[in-house]
Amino acid sequence: MESEVADKYQITADTFSRLAERYQERFLEWPPYAQSYEWLLAEMAATDVRLLDVACGPGSLGLYLKRRRPELQITGTDLAPGMLALARGNIPDGEFLLLDSRDIGTLEGQFDLCCCGFGLPYLDGTDLERFIAGAHDKLRPGGLLYLSTMEGEPERSGWQTSSSGDRVFIHYHRGAELQALLEQQGFIVFKQFRQASTNGDTDLFIYARHNG
């Protein structure tokens, strides 16, 4: 079972790495997510400068925030080397690391802000819990957590294959269960909103704070 999970994650990461340029062309500046970033900026204190961007892709979220907050010190992680190469080009003064989102607890230091923009659909329930525990460990007391994901019934989870044969494994999560998990791990959820995605899914955005 463990090898099956590893294969599922690696196949998905390989697909994203191979299609990184195409992904960037579409999503680097994607207007439907702008409002969620604006609400995030509104919650950030002037002293919030250390950002951990998990499953950062080409750096879309970090780039948006840094244009408004140039002083941000961004550490990004991703499992797709192709995505990291693009992120380094888009945010030259950032630090971008090849790291599984389940392993962010191994990073040194703490952060003021942790973001994971649409990384949760690539984690199953057990690994999602591990990621959230790692985020809690890496955030300073009172630090801010931003998450976005596709909301849906877990039974919908499975492989999605493009016409070219590229595959990714998508996990759907229920919003109520995500909130309960965050609260169990020591977060206070203070804002959620949903919007329709262009592909018919429901996108869920969650804002929480470390309760320390």
What 3-state DSSP class applies to 54? Answer: strand
d(CA 212, CA 4) in angstroms, rounded, equals 36
Please name the helix (run of DSSP H) or strand (run of DSSP E) that holds residue 203, with its range, or none: strand 202-210
Q: What is the pLDDT of residue 41?
A: 98
d(CA 88, CA 82) in angstroms, rounded, equals 10
| CATH number of the 2-210 domain | 3.40.50.150
Ranges of the chain with pLDDT below 50:
1
d(CA 6, CA 60) in angstroms, rounded, equals 26
Q: What is the pLDDT of residue 86?
A: 98
Checking DSSP bridges between strand 187-196 and strand 111-117, what pairing results, if any?
A: unpaired
**What's the pTM value of the predicted model, to 2 decimals?**
0.94
Instruction: Convert the pLDDT of each residue in 178-204 to its tens digit.
Output: 999 999 999 999 999 999 988 888 999
